[in-house]
Structure 1
């Protein structure tokens, strides 16, 4: 991994609405496909062919009926290189039956900067001050996602250091925690933290068995480990 301070990158931004690619994430979950890993792989292939590329991809998630039924959609908003829209669309279309569409314009300010292309690398935010990029040999160690019922997923990100979920307590189901000698300070989980990372951090802090924590949406359904905490909050 390569780390750098956020101030060292020229992350693009705009308050003007821009073309976005809408992806029906529910269709990916049904097939156990990692949305972010798919995007990261497409961008990594693009950067390999175009090392001088400079762009930022924003992500905005919401419920949508644009695919003729209520479902969760993620909107990818590329800023800085017009070729990325087609690159990302092609990546999802190659997966087969994954509904995608070039949507109405969306403002990047509504979402979060989730990927940045600069210096021949694909950067992802680690925390508010730090971005990280995988080196070539790290590309094979992309996020691995397991079904929630079999235990925690393994990831190589570390965004789960802060984890006050800011949701009703019934959203988290866990075994009775062991009493700790040390007081625990609860901090707010980043919106772009992964559910799997936060579950493992809760288990670590409270000394719970691996796989004992389940984070559920307001409908009672458990969220996948690769879902974002902001998705969990929105469903409450």
Structure 2
């Protein structure tokens, strides 16, 4: 029996860039598609949200005096480009998909309709959510949390290039210690930047667990679904959440 059946997988745009650090690396797409295929074969239902930072980051552009709303809309379009690339990789691996966009673009994606998204998942299709929430000032982390709540996901899995949540950046501090589990409130208090404040708050209010894990380790996704201890679980602490 799977530990989690309906999953919202959140990947950063940078994770698609590979060693180059920008653009889209087809080898990375294929690697992730293979991991998702293994999870589907176990019986999981999977939805995806992908960032756009490998192509365009609205926050960075706004810091350079570009209008924030305009920059965020450009960032949303970047997520759709990544979603189309990921859709292609999945379908080349024999996986049925649907791409749903929060911004209308009927030629390439369906509009997001909650009941339709759930039906696609029930039919075994991977649903890719593009264009964030469709609104400026909200990140793809927040979009992932919102969509996960809407489709009644059992968990958000945040795929990263590190093994979990650490007390400091493990890529800069070799002595950084990893948490096996941590509460939402402790993530916020320690400013651990698992996801942004809005996303963490939304998950906490809806008791939606988050697992942060390394997507670049072979079979990690399947191992997690089979109940093995993988990554860091971010969850509710009854003592802290009272009142």
TM-score, normalising length: structure 1: 0.28
Q: Which has the higher helix share?
A: 2
Structure index of larger Rg: 1
TM-score, normalising length: structure 2: 0.27
